[in-house]
Structure 1
Amino acid sequence: MIAKLTAAALLLITGALHLYQYVLSPPTLPVLVTVLFGAVYVVLALVVPFGGRRGLITAQIVTAIGGFMAIASVVQDQQPLTVWIAIFVAFDLAVIWFCAWAKAELAAR
C-alpha cells in the first residue's frame, strides 16, 4: 500500500508542478502539452490509491509517454533542457518504479 500512496503523492506533486509551469512560462506548444499532462497526473493521483492494477498500468503508461515526450522535445530542439524538465523526468521514472512495486504487491496477495 505504501508504494501506491507514494506513486499517488509523486503524481500529485508533479501534476501541480506541471500546472504551475503555465504561470512561469509563456504559452507555447510544449508548455500547453506540459499543462495537459499535469492535469492528467492530478487525476491519476486520485485514481491510483483506490484503483487496482489497471490504474497502476495506466499511470505507468502515461508517465512513460510524458517522460519520453519531454526528452524528445529537448532532443528535437523544441525547448532547452532545464531543471524543470530534469525534475519532471525524474518524477516520471520514480512513478513508474513505485507503480511496478505496487503491482508486485498486488500480485503477491
Structure 2
Amino acid sequence: MKPAAVVAALALLSGCATVPGGTPERADRVPLPFTGAGLERVIGQNAAALTRLLGEPNADVREGTARKLQFQSRICVLDTYLYPKGSGEPRVTYVDARQPDGSAIDRASCVAALTRRDGGR
C-alpha cells in the first residue's frame, strides 16, 4: 500500500475510536456572550414598529413611562424594554431573550426566529 493511502486509512479509522472508560462526560454549558450585533431591527424602535415586525405582543406591561413588550414563539421568548428619551416616544433600549424553558438563547437568533414565524405562536 502507498504511504499516502496508509495515512488516509488511519485517519478514517481514527474516527471510529471509542472513549476509554465508556461514554464521554457531559460538557458544561458555555455562557452566551451578550452583544448588540443582529439587534439593529429592534433596538431604537417604538411599539408600532415592533408590532409591524414581530406581530402583536403576548404581554404589554407599563410602569410609569417605561414599557415592556413580550413576544413568544415555540422557539423563544423576547422581552423588549422601551423607555422615553426626554419628551419623545418610548423606544427599545434593551432586549432580553430566553428559550420557553428558561434556557439561554442568543437575542439576535430569537429576533430572527420571531420575524420568521407565520402568524402563529
Do they superpose with TM above 0.5?
no
With a CA cutoff of 8 Å and minimum separation of 6, indicate the structure with the bigger relative contact order: 1
More strand by share: 2
Provide TM-score, normalisation by structure 2.
0.24
